[in-house]
């Protein structure tokens, strides 16, 4: 086959992993990556904090789903991988702080073991009483919150599931799709009860989203934010920054991608096009070439958030790797990661902490100025961690408008419709966090799947 041109829309992890995979298989092709923003990486981003490279986007890669670790190794950076020093997280509840109970599937318990104290005695009794309910009969997709409230009571949702789902999706259990966010649990609902389904899911060992005891995560010592540059170099891709793609059109021999700033429009020809822009942008791009994908893409909303990174003077804190802070506490922050305890390479000279604010449909606090937001987050963190020296030596705010796609009820059907509409057009592909998982391994897997389909 002669040399071809692949155009990738979006220089996030999905687009860059796809470019890298394409290069491995097609050494002589031309790869052009169009990026609307002024830097590569999308949600991957690092800053200098107290003399360390510090991630303000993703900071941990799940190791049990192998694609992210495998990609780092394929880049020749395996020696830079770091395992956490501790993964013990606690949940902040109105009564105080409690270690995250072991043995759940993303917070869904398989039994009442370990729930005493974490739930009220009525809450534990409610979980136990699931055995007396009629057998489960779930047809299709349902909201995580709806099903679990009905079967196990509100406390399981508000205290256990919400903080974990909030951490992964910045979403709300009452709106998120059970099938999309907990496929392993959904697959075992035929067991007749939620507890039995959770037990079966754990038994099958198919759960893969930070939901088992001591999940194994890894990071990269110079930051996960160092990966985009390594990927671009290895992919030998031409990246065009500040160059948004506007539309994709089919031609007799391939595609035309209209691109560039309004003042300097350009049309780029391509033999294959892979779209990895977030869903709303992808919908606009694909209107002419894959109209059937537009409506389901528009049905995937995003949550916005802000990450505040803080360096405090070195001091002892007893919070393990960090705290999950569910809405039931009424707190501003939704989580606190104690990076200098969690990651050995960040320990030592300062207390490094990051905290996030903002959930789906609960983004009003993001209207504050950076200064205001930082002051409020620092106060919340100082209180939660009981800091003896609460004056930070450095802070930074990174805002993620449209940071995380929401897998709402019906998401799997939406994804099927999108993939079917795009799949009807030979040479056209779509991939990214909006579809088969928001975590880095899932994005990389989706990138590889898309490259497979295109080639």
Ligand X SMILES: Cc1cc2nc3c(=O)[nH]c(=O)nc-3n(C[C@H](O)[C@H](O)[C@H](O)COP(=O)(O)OP(=O)(O)OC[C@H]3O[C@@H](n4cnc5c(N)ncnc54)[C@H](O)[C@@H]3O)c2cc1C
Nearer residue to ligand X within complex by CB, 112 or 304: 304
Are β-strands 350-357 and 302-313 bridged in parallel, bridged antiparallel, or unpaired?
Answer: antiparallel
DSSP symbols for 43-77: T--EEEETTEEEESS---EESSSTHHHHHHHHTT-
**Distance in Å, CB of 441 to ligand X, minimum:** 7
Instruction: Give the list of residues 6+ apart from residue 11 with CB closer than 8 angstroms, or none.
Output: 33, 34, 35, 37, 40, 41, 42, 228, 232, 239, 241
Instruction: Give the sign of the dihedral formed by CA 126, CA 131, CA 135, CA 140.
Output: positive
**Distance in Å, CB of 28 to ligand X, minimum:** 25
**Distance in Å, CB of 167 to ligand X, minimum:** 9
**Distance in Å, CB of 71 to ligand X, minimum:** 12
Instruction: Give the list of residues 6+ apart from residue 378 with CB closer than 8 angstroms, or none.
Output: 308, 310, 390, 392, 395
Nearer residue to ligand X within complex by CB, 34 or 157: 34
Token readout for 175 is: 């709106």
Nearer residue to ligand X within complex by CB, 149 or 240: 240
Encode burial over 8-36: b for 16+ CB neighbours within 10 A, e otherwise.
Answer: bbbbbbbbbbbbbbbbeebeebebbbbbb
Q: Which spans of this chain sit near ligand X (rule: CB under 6 A)?
A: 9-15, 34-37, 42-44, 57-61, 244-245, 276-278, 281, 305, 307, 400, 403-404, 432-433, 438-440, 443
Nearer residue to ligand X within complex by CB, 38 or 139: 38
Token readout for 345 is: 């390479």
**Distance in Å, CB of 121 to ligand X, minimum:** 35
**Distance in Å, CB of 370 to ligand X, minimum:** 16
Confirm if 319 and 341 have CB atoms less than 8 A apart: yes
Nearer residue to ligand X within complex by CB, 35 or 155: 35
At residue 358, the 3 state secondary structure works out as coil
Nearer residue to ligand X within complex by CB, 281 or 414: 281
Are β-strands 322-324 and 89-93 bridged in parallel, bridged antiparallel, or unpaired?
Answer: parallel
Token readout for 55 is: 């991630």
**Distance in Å, CB of 354 to ligand X, minimum:** 9
Nearer residue to ligand X within complex by CB, 7 or 110: 7
**Distance in Å, CB of 37 to ligand X, minimum:** 4
Nearer residue to ligand X within complex by CB, 31 or 433: 433
Across the strands, what pairs with 90?
99, 323
| Residues 209, 31: Cα–Cα separation, whole Å | 32
Helices (H) and strands (E) in the chain, counts: 16, 22
What DSSP designation does 4 have? -
**Distance in Å, CB of 435 to ligand X, minimum:** 9
Instruction: Give the sign of the dihedral formed by CA 43, CA 59, CA 296, CA 158.
Output: negative
For helices 67-74 and 440-454, give the axis angle rounded to 10 degrees. Answer: 70
**Distance in Å, CB of 264 to ligand X, minimum:** 15
Nearer residue to ligand X within complex by CB, 42 or 84: 42
The kind and range of the H/E element at 109 are: strand 108-109
**Distance in Å, CB of 36 to ligand X, minimum:** 4
Of 376, 439, 366, which is closest to residue 167 (Cα–Cα)? 439
Of 333, 62, 409, which is closest to residue 207 (Cα–Cα)? 62
């Amino acid at each position: 086959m002669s040399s071809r041109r692949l155009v990738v829309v979006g220089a996030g992890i999905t687009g860059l992993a796809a470019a890298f995979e394409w290069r491995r298989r097609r050494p002589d092709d031309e790869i052009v990556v169009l990026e609307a923003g002024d830097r590569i990486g999308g949600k991957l981003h690092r800053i200098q904090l107290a003399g360390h490279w510090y991630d303000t986007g993703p900071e941990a890669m799940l190791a049990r789903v192998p694609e992210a670790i495998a990609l780092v190794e394929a880049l020749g950076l395996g020696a830079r991988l770091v395992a956490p020093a501790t993964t013990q997280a606690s949940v902040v509840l109105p009564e105080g702080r409690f270690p995250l109970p072991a043995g759940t599937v993303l917070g869904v318990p398989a039994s009442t073991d370990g729930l005493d104290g974490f739930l009220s005695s009525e809450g534990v009794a409610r979980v136990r009483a699931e055995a007396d309910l009629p057998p489960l009969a779930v047809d299709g997709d349902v909201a995580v919150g709806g099903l679990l409230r009905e079967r196990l009571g509100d406390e399981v949702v508000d205290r256990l599931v919400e903080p974990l789902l909030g951490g992964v999706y910045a979403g709300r259990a009452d709106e998120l799709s059970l099938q999309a966010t907990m496929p392993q649990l959904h697959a075992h609902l035929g067991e007749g009860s939620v507890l039995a389904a959770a037990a079966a899911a754990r038994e099958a060992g198919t759960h893969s989203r930070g939901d088992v005891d001591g999940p194994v995560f890894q990071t990269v010592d110079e930051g996960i934010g160092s990966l985009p540059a390594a990927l671009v170099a290895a992919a030998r891709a031409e990246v065009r920054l500040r160059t948004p793609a506007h539309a994709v059109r089919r031609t007799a021999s391939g595609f035309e991608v209209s691109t560039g700033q309004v003042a300097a429009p350009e049309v780029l020809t391509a033999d294959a096009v892979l779209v990895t822009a977030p869903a709303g942008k992808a919908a606009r791009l694909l209107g002419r070439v894959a109209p059937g994908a537009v409506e389901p893409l528009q049905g995937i909303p995003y949550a916005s958030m802000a990450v505040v990174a803080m360096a405090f003077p070195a001091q002892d804190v007893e919070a393990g790797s960090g705290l999950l802070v569910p809405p039931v506490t009424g707190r501003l922050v939704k989580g606190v990661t104690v990076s200098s305890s969690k990651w050995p390479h960040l320990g030592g000279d300062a207390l490094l902490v990051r905290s996030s604010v903002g959930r789906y449909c609960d983004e009003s606090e993001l209207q504050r100025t950076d200064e205001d937001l930082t002051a409020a987050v620092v106060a919340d963190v100082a209180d939660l961690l009981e800091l003896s020296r609460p004056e930070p030596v450095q802070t930074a705010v990174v805002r993620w408008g449209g940071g995380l796609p929401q897998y709402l009820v019906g998401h799997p059907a939406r994804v099927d419709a999108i993939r079917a509409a795009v799949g009807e057009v030979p040479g056209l592909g779509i991939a990214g966090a909006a579809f088969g998982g928001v975590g880095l391994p899932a994005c990389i897997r989706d990138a590889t799947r898309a490259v497979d389909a295109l080639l």
